[in-house]
A and B are shown apart, each in its own frame.
Chain A
Amino acid sequence: MHDRDSDSIDDCWNRIGVRGDRSCPRLDEYIHCRQCPVHAAAAKTLLHRVVSDVDMRAGAPATSSIANGGAFLLIFRLHAEWLALPVAALAEVTAMRPIHSLPRRAGIVLGVCNVRGRLIPCISLAALLDLAPRQAEEDGKATPRMLVLSSHTGTIVAPVDDIAGIQPFTASSIGALPDTLAGARYASGVVRYRDRAVGLLDSARITQAIVGRLQ
């Protein structure tokens, strides 16, 4: 994700730092770029940069189109499928936590898990979406995470297999569903991310379905 071209930020850590050829003289003092004030300053600049500076994919006009139906989407993987959810539906992404199952409960409810000291119901999105069972072989690089989804009905946690990140998409870059999926229950569109097709989930319909199947 650092490969975006940007004039204002010199990504020296990629050129001469720990990710580059390590020729930076500051390395003697700081050992790792993340300890270096230059790195910190660049991070701060990135953080404070207004959205319109972010390069929109495919040269799309910036922020205004985000407001007009575009969205920031969280892209994640469940089993073999890549999916996206609007960031607005998301409270946080946390590391995996132990899940306590509930006796006599099956279906989409996995149990409850501790998020910031509160017990939150935990559900399986894969079961909700009726995904094909997981392939036995997983590449070692994936880091499973938990999505904390927040809506007016309450908070829900759902584990996912991997997360690619948060990306802005304009309304025009969200494609229609293929005709074969016209009756899809939860998908509302398709976006392209790194030459993959990613199914965009409708958060309202997902929340509704979850609430209906919690009991």
Chain B
Amino acid sequence: MNPNSLRDASLLDLYKMEADAQVQVLDAGLLALEHDPQAAAHLAACMRAAHSLKGAARIVGLDGPVRVAHAMEDRLVDAQKGYAPLDAFAIDLLLRGTDLLRNMPTPDAEADIAAARIFVESLTLPRTADAALPPPKATVTPARTAEPTATHQPETADERALRVTARTLDELLGLSSETLVEANRLSPFAASLLPLKRMQDGLAKLLEALQHRTAGLAADDDMQTALAQARQQAAACQQLLGERMAQADQFGWRIGDLGQRLYDTALRCRMRPFGDAVANLPRMVRDLARTLGKQARLEIDGEVTRVDRDILEGLDAPLTHLLRNAVDHGIEPPAQRRAAGKREEGTITLRARHSAGMLLVEVGDDGRGIDVPRLREEIVARGLAARQTADALSETETLAFLFLPGFTTRAAVTEISGRGVGLDVVHDMARRLRGAVRVHQRTGEGTRFTLELPLSLSVARSLIVEIAGERYAFPLAYVARTLRLPHDAIEQLEGRQHFEHEGRQIGLVGASQVLQYAQRPPMGDVVPVVLLNDQQGRHYGVAVDRFIAEQTLVVQPLDPRLGKLQDIQAGAVMEDGSPVLILDVEDMLRSIEKQVASGTLQRVDADTAAHAPKRRKRILVVDDSLTVRELERKLLANRGYDVTVAVDGMDGWNMARAQNFDLIVTDVDMPRMDGIELLTLVRKDPRLQSTHVMVVSYKDRPEDRQRGLDAGADYYLGKSSFHDDALLDAVEDLIGRAES
């Protein structure tokens, strides 16, 4: 039937692998050539790739790819010799060729050959009749339809080699760390043999002295012989022990080295270069720009940046969305750009770098930016906020609306479609990866989205300290400074300790006090202090017992059965095998704030207790927006409720369990833990069964409403309506008046 039916399957696999690699070279080279058609190096690289592919295809007997590669090579040779320079249209055609190569061989060899023939014809035709050809769009379309398969293929090839469950990898890491610990015990053991060696040396010397002494006494020969023998034996012992010790030493060193390398390799299993995930993006940007009649180029920076495998996989969707947005809405059409005095070709930069223990991924464009005043109008028009509130919003707060699901500023920002399409996906993904996404814009100069993600979900560089006799770790990303404060540098003000650092007074808090350990070790002459900054720019000095080390820890989530531990993020095992808990610094800062606040609260309570013994209804307001939080707090406090605020779901959850509330009013979209999660936790906790929960959210769609009610909310209120009495009425319906 098929002339190729006898071809060797494994040879074919090899060809596919080579084709994947060469097609990438071709793609990259062709895109570069589009910019600079004269770039000899890229031209040569493309020719080499096409040529090697042709050779490889010939060996496995694939006629289709041979023809395509051959035609491409010919075309490139023509370009090199200057017969036919490469214009955008030619590049389009050649890119189509790479798509064909990527997807070949299909099971149907005849169809391959037919497709190749059509391609070869299309490639040879235009040299004479450029103008008569269909517009480039028509040729781009098939290339784009070929894209899904193009992106899938390398992925499946990847997985075949690397299909390992995360659990196995974790176990491997656990075992390799234990191996390292055990291996490191060998050198102390070898060292412990030293006293034995010394004792033997002493024994040998004693024997020697004895022999010398008896030699003069003319004692009997038997004794002399026995002594000589004893000395011989002792010498043999010394030698043997010496050899064995050296061997043990060497063995210890080797096994330690191996253990370390095993551990490092196991760790590295999780990391991949950023470039792995972005190879096909320049192509996507180019194709998209061309279909939209624009010119755009993607510049990638930081391809070698190492990124955790889980994070890299998670980045795929958000990056695609952000790039599409940049091309679609950011970059202006060439005419507009020319009028604005910019280059016709827009530049989109994708940059990945490590910064302060975080992975920063930036997608920037040099386009028109975001029209913030129009965005405000849109917010008001959609009833998401009252005019007053909207006008009071800062630019950053306003831009945050872009991340609401379904929020689009169609016609407000661009003509084609609204920015915001897919931005909630970006937002969700960043949240899921324990990161954040920010947007900056300069009108007329461009927009920049910054994804701030942890370097890895599994490894954290940390400062290990001792608190109340136990080991704790601060993730380095949160540590501003460490200090060793002389005891007399600490001053007191109203019973609170503080110290001066770089011209600023900084409050001092005992870490064991924050963690509520009963045992408070006395302060020494020098106090080790970790400086922490919170997002509002407040500084705290946290006093610890002592600094132990700076180390890379493999983060282990704690057993979920233990529930959420306040101020603790995860656990880890140190190199010597001892357990250490990793502090949740954001949580901890909140605990500190609360302890600071409760100090004053007590005095306020003491004053009011005499006048107002009546118990007021207590409400917890959970919202991450300061404006909304304060608005709600004021509205409720004016009605006489005792209102406490929490800045996100996690904070709210900690407070809900620590104190009694009659009602929790929560937002849905919040960092660290969203309102639905909080609601679910509250409903699961038997002690909080009687607490009412009201959800207040911008998400006003019926499905959002349903999601909230399904999770157990007593009431779901759209944020657009809380400026009137709707909120207060609903609160009174649920828990009655403030004092009763």
A residues sitting closer than 8 Å to B (CB atoms) are: 97-105, 109, 111-114, 116-121, 153-154, 211, 214-215
Contact A100 B471, CB 8 Å, known A117-B573, A119-B571: yes
Contact A98 B178, CB 8 Å, known A154-B559, A214-B563: no
What is the CB-to-nearest-CB distance from A209 to chain B, in angstroms, rounded to a whole number? 13
CB pair B562 A103 closer than 8 Å: no
CB pair B174 A116 closer than 8 Å: yes
B579: contacting residue among A113, A116, A153, A211, CB under 8 A: A113
Chain A neighbourhood of B177, CB < 8 A: 117
CB pair A104 B515 closer than 8 Å: yes
Which residue, of A101, A105, A118, A120, has the highest number of chain B Cβ atoms within 10 A? A118
B560-576 contact mask (Cβ, 8 Å, vs A): 1 or 0: 01110111100111000
Could you name 27 residue pairs across A and B whose Cβ atoms are closer than 8 Å? A100-B470, A100-B579, A100-B580, A100-B581, A101-B470, A102-B562, A102-B581, A103-B515, A103-B517, A104-B515, A111-B579, A112-B558, A112-B559, A114-B579, A116-B174, A116-B178, A117-B176, A117-B177, A118-B556, A118-B573, A119-B556, A119-B579, A153-B561, A214-B561, A214-B562, A214-B563, A215-B561
Chain A neighbourhood of B566, CB < 8 A: 103-104
Contact A100 B578, CB 8 Å, known A116-B174, A215-B562: yes
What is the CB-to-nearest-CB distance from B658 to chain A, in angstroms, rounded to a whole number? 10
Of all chain B residues, which has the CB nearest A109?
Answer: B562
Q: How far is the CA of A105 from the CA of B564 in the complex (A)?
A: 11
B169-194 contact mask (Cβ, 8 Å, vs A): 1 or 0: 01101111110000000000000000
Chain A neighbourhood of B562, CB < 8 A: 102, 105, 109, 112, 121, 214-215
CB pair B559 A121 closer than 8 Å: yes
B561: contacting residue among A98, A117, A121, CB under 8 A: A121
CB pair B578 A98 closer than 8 Å: yes
Q: How far is the CA of A114 from the CA of B171 in the complex (A)?
A: 13
A104: contacting residue among B171, B178, B516, B556, CB under 8 A: B516
Chain B neighbourhood of A103, CB < 8 A: 515-517, 565-568, 581
Chain A neighbourhood of B556, CB < 8 A: 118-119
CB pair A120 B559 closer than 8 Å: yes
CB pair B559 A119 closer than 8 Å: yes
Which residue, of B515, B566, B579, has the highest number of chain A Cβ atoms within 10 A? B579
Q: Does B577 contact A (CB under 8 A)?
A: yes
Of all chain B residues, which has the CB nearest A120?
Answer: B559
Of all chain A residues, which has the CB nearest B170?
Answer: A118
What is the CB-to-nearest-CB distance from B519 to chain A, in angstroms, rounded to a whole number? 10
Of all chain B residues, which has the CB nearest A119?
Answer: B571
Of all chain A residues, which has the CB nearest B566?
Answer: A104
Query: Which residues of B178-226 are within 8 A (CB) of A?
Result: 178
Q: How far is the CA of A103 from the CA of B567 in the complex (A)?
A: 9
Q: How far is the CA of A104 from the CA of B568 in the complex (A)?
A: 11
Q: How far is the CA of A121 from the CA of B560 in the complex (A)?
A: 10
A117: contacting residue among B174, B470, B563, B580, CB under 8 A: B174
Query: Which residues of B149-184 are within 8 A (CB) of A?
Result: 170-171, 173-178
What is the CB-to-nearest-CB distance from A91 to chain B, in angstroms, rounded to a whole number? 14
Q: How far is the CA of A109 from the CA of B563 in the complex (A)?
A: 12
Q: How far is the CA of A121 from the CA of B420 in the complex (A)?
A: 44
Chain B neighbourhood of A153, CB < 8 A: 561
What is the CB-to-nearest-CB distance from B710 to chain A, in angstroms, rounded to a whole number? 24
Chain B neighbourhood of A113, CB < 8 A: 579
Q: How far is the CA of A55 from the CA of B265 in the complex (A)?
A: 49
What is the CB-to-nearest-CB distance from B417 to chain A, in angstroms, rounded to a whole number? 48
Q: How far is the CA of A116 from the CA of B170 in the complex (A)?
A: 11
Q: How far is the CA of A87 from the CA of B93 in the complex (A)?
A: 71
B599-616 contact mask (Cβ, 8 Å, vs A): 1 or 0: 000000000000000000
Chain B neighbourhood of A98, CB < 8 A: 578-579
Q: How far is the CA of A215 from the CA of B564 in the complex (A)?
A: 8
Chain A neighbourhood of B470, CB < 8 A: 100-101
Query: Which residues of B533-566 are within 8 A (CB) of A?
Result: 556, 558-559, 561-563, 565-566
Of all chain B residues, which has the CB nearest A121?
Answer: B559
Of all chain A residues, which has the CB nearest B517?
Answer: A103
Q: How far is the CA of A105 from the CA of B572 in the complex (A)?
A: 18
What is the CB-to-nearest-CB distance from A148 to chain B, in angstroms, rounded to a whole number? 13
CB pair B577 A114 closer than 8 Å: yes
Of all chain A residues, which has the CB nearest B570?
Answer: A119
Q: How far is the CA of A154 from the CA of B557 in the complex (A)?
A: 14
Q: How far is the CA of A98 from the CA of B181 in the complex (A)?
A: 14
Which residue, of A104, A120, A153, A214, has the highest number of chain B Cβ atoms within 10 A? A104
Chain B neighbourhood of A102, CB < 8 A: 562, 565, 568, 581
What is the CB-to-nearest-CB distance from A119 to chain B, in angstroms, rounded to a whole number? 4
CB pair B563 A215 closer than 8 Å: yes
Chain A neighbourhood of B171, CB < 8 A: 117
Q: How far is the CA of A120 from the CA of B515 in the complex (A)?
A: 21
Of all chain A residues, which has the CB nearest B574?
Answer: A114
Q: How far is the CA of A103 from the CA of B556 in the complex (A)?
A: 17
Q: How far is the CA of A73 from the CA of B578 in the complex (A)?
A: 31
Q: How far is the CA of A99 from the CA of B578 in the complex (A)?
A: 8
Chain A neighbourhood of B178, CB < 8 A: 116-117
Chain A neighbourhood of B170, CB < 8 A: 118
Q: How far is the CA of A117 from the CA of B563 in the complex (A)?
A: 21
Chain A neighbourhood of B561, CB < 8 A: 121, 153-154, 211, 214-215
Q: How far is the CA of A112 from the CA of B171 in the complex (A)?
A: 17
Q: How far is the CA of A120 from the CA of B573 in the complex (A)?
A: 11
Q: How far is the CA of A190 from the CA of B721 in the complex (A)?
A: 67
12 further A-B contacts with Cβ under 8 Å, apart from A119-B571, A120-B559, A121-B562, are A102-B568, A102-B581, A103-B515, A103-B516, A103-B566, A103-B568, A111-B579, A113-B579, A114-B573, A116-B174, A119-B556, A215-B563
What is the CB-to-nearest-CB distance from A74 to chain B, in angstroms, rounded to a whole number? 23
Chain B neighbourhood of A118, CB < 8 A: 170, 174, 556, 573
What is the CB-to-nearest-CB distance from A195 to chain B, in angstroms, rounded to a whole number? 39
Chain B neighbourhood of A101, CB < 8 A: 470
Chain A neighbourhood of B581, CB < 8 A: 100, 102-103, 112
What is the CB-to-nearest-CB distance from A100 to chain B, in angstroms, rounded to a whole number? 4
What is the CB-to-nearest-CB distance from A6 to chain B, in angstroms, rounded to a whole number? 36
What is the CB-to-nearest-CB distance from B558 to chain A, in angstroms, rounded to a whole number? 7
What is the CB-to-nearest-CB distance from B312 to chain A, in angstroms, rounded to a whole number? 25
Of all chain A residues, which has the CB nearest B658?
Answer: A104
Of all chain A residues, which has the CB nearest B172?
Answer: A117
Q: How far is the CA of A14 from the CA of B174 in the complex (A)?
A: 41
8 residue pairs, one from A and one from B, having the closest CB atoms: A117-B174, A103-B515, A215-B563, A100-B579, A119-B571, A117-B178, A214-B561, A114-B573
Of all chain A residues, which has the CB nearest B467?
Answer: A103
Which residue, of A111, A112, A116, A211, has the highest number of chain B Cβ atoms within 10 A? A112
Contact A104 B559, CB 8 Å, known A112-B571, A114-B578, A116-B178: no
Of all chain A residues, which has the CB nearest B556?
Answer: A119
Of all chain B residues, which has the CB nearest A103?
Answer: B515
Of all chain A residues, which has the CB nearest B515?
Answer: A103
What is the CB-to-nearest-CB distance from A83 to chain B, in angstroms, rounded to a whole number? 23
Which residue, of A100, A117, A119, A215, has the highest number of chain B Cβ atoms within 10 A? A117
Which residue, of A104, A119, A211, A214, has the highest number of chain B Cβ atoms within 10 A? A119
Which residue, of B173, B470, B561, B577, has the highest number of chain A Cβ atoms within 10 A? B561
Chain A neighbourhood of B471, CB < 8 A: 100
Of all chain B residues, which has the CB nearest A153?
Answer: B561
Chain A neighbourhood of B572, CB < 8 A: 119
Q: How far is the CA of A103 from the CA of B471 in the complex (A)?
A: 12
Q: How far is the CA of A102 from the CA of B471 in the complex (A)?
A: 11
B442-470 contact mask (Cβ, 8 Å, vs A): 1 or 0: 00000000000000000000000000001
Chain A neighbourhood of B558, CB < 8 A: 112, 119, 121
What is the CB-to-nearest-CB distance from B516 to chain A, in angstroms, rounded to a whole number? 5
Chain B neighbourhood of A214, CB < 8 A: 559, 561-563
